[in-house]
């Protein structure tokens, strides 16, 4: 079912999880172990992230071979496996970096054949190892338009028949702005463009102060964006992770939370601080009337379970 329809039909907030495909060579059973432990909470959908193709150079005797590789392949396959195993809606990520518009169309056709109705679109972060293709999109809005066109039977590759797809498109929102945007207002202009082009729901980047979410929603509503905004949360249960997150995601950690982690004496104390903070944020968000809660599991279920045990029958 489309995510926007699930939200409309439910009389209480929805719950969803995000998982990361295993590294190349690892086993999907690791994913199943995490999801098995979380299905008791009846998620409405599971997001499966996508990772960009990268360039590697392999020495083979006297030659050096340039390879285009993906270190975490399997997004489509994992989505299909989860849908089949758990009878749950899945929302695979699609990203622009490392893929051209023709490859993306092939992925969308596969997803359509699998009966997957929802996709989540991000641009992806470029680094020096990414393979650049002249047919690669520079911005996520172009991919949103491609999918909206496909929903109208307009393909990027020539076709004799024009079967319509019917994807529900989700996009990312950044309560503290995307790190490349000069300011939040400019970032929200790009978000509105994606909504105008056909995106129907928003999942936010993680944040650690509910005030950022409230300010974000207030600003986009004033811009005329009425799409549901699902807050994305990550339970951080170690001081090391807390200090590393701003380096990768360019977000602010509240002073009080940093002090609580600094005062923790043991790893279990750190775990409890992180779980408690996440519980407090969910309670505050539920009071705000959010359409749901989206949790970034990062492939680990213990912290998520500890948080959600406090919300039995809420979702």
pLDDT one-digit tens code per residue, 256-293: 999 999 999 999 999 999 999 999 999 999 999 999 99
Residue 152 has pLDDT above 70, yes or no: yes
Confidence of residue 129 (pLDDT cuts 50, 70, 90): low
The count of domains in the chain is 1
**How far apart (Å, rounded) are the C-alpha atoms in residues 261 and 71?**
32
CATH for 7:
3.20.20.220
- Cα–Cα separations (whole angstroms), residue 135 to 143, 156, 194, 198, 230: 12, 11, 20, 21, 31
Residue 59, φ and ψ in degrees, nearest 5: -80, 125
The pLDDT, as a whole number, for residue 128 is: 60
Residues in the chain: 315
Residue pair 44/293 in contact (Cβ under 8 Å)? The answer is no
Q: Which of 172, 181, 176 is nearest to 201 (CA)?
A: 172
Task: State pTM to two decimals.
Answer: 0.95
What is the pLDDT confidence band of residue 57, given thresholds at 50, 70 and 90? Answer: confident
Instruction: Using alpha carbons, select from 100, 37, 74, 28 the residue that is nearest to residue 297.
Output: 37
pLDDT value, residue 131: 67
pLDDT at position 250 over 80: yes
Instruction: Give the residue among 273, 205, 214, 213 at the shortest CA–CA distance from 238.
Output: 273
Query: Could you list the residue range(s) of the whole structural domain that residue 188 is in?
Result: 3-311
């Amino acid at each position: 079912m489309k995510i926007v329809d699930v939200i409309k039909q439910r009389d209480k907030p929805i719950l969803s999880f995000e998982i990361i495909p295993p590294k190349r060579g690892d086993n999907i059973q690791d994913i199943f172990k995490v999801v098995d432990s979380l299905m008791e909470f009846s998620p409405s959908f599971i997001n499966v992230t996508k990772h960009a193709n990268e360039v590697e150079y392999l020495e083979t005797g006297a030659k050096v071979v340039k390879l285009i590789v993906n270190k975490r392949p399997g997004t489509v396959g994992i989505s299909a496996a989860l849908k089949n195993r758990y009878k749950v809606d899945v929302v695979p990520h699609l990203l622009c970096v490392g893929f051209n518009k023709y490859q993306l169309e092939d992925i969308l056709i596969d997803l359509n054949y699998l009966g997957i109705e929802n996709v989540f679109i991000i641009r992806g972060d470029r680094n020096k190892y990414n393979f650049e293709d002249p047919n690669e999109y520079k911005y996520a809005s172009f991919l949103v338009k491609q999918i909206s066109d496909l929903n109208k039977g307009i393909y990027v590759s020539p076709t004799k028949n024009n079967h319509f797809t019917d994807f529900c498109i989700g996009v990312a929102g950044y309560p503290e702005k995307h790190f490349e945007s000069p300011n939040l207002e400019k970032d929200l202009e790009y978000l509105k463009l994606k909504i105008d082009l056909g995106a129907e729901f928003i999942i936010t980047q993680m944040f650690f102060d509910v005030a950022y979410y409230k300010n974000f929603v207030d600003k986009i509503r004033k811009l005329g964006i009425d799409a549901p905004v699902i807050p994305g949360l990550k339970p951080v249960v170690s001081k090391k992770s807390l200090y590393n997150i701003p380096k990768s995601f360019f977000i602010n950690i509240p002073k009080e939370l940093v002090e609580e982690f600094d005062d923790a004496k043991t790893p279990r104390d750190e775990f409890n601080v992180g779980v408690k903070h996440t519980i407090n944020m969910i309670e505050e968000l539920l009071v705000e009337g959010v359409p749901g809660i989206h949790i970034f599991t990062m492939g680990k279920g213990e912290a998520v379970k500890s948080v959600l045990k406090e919300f039995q029958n809420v979702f």
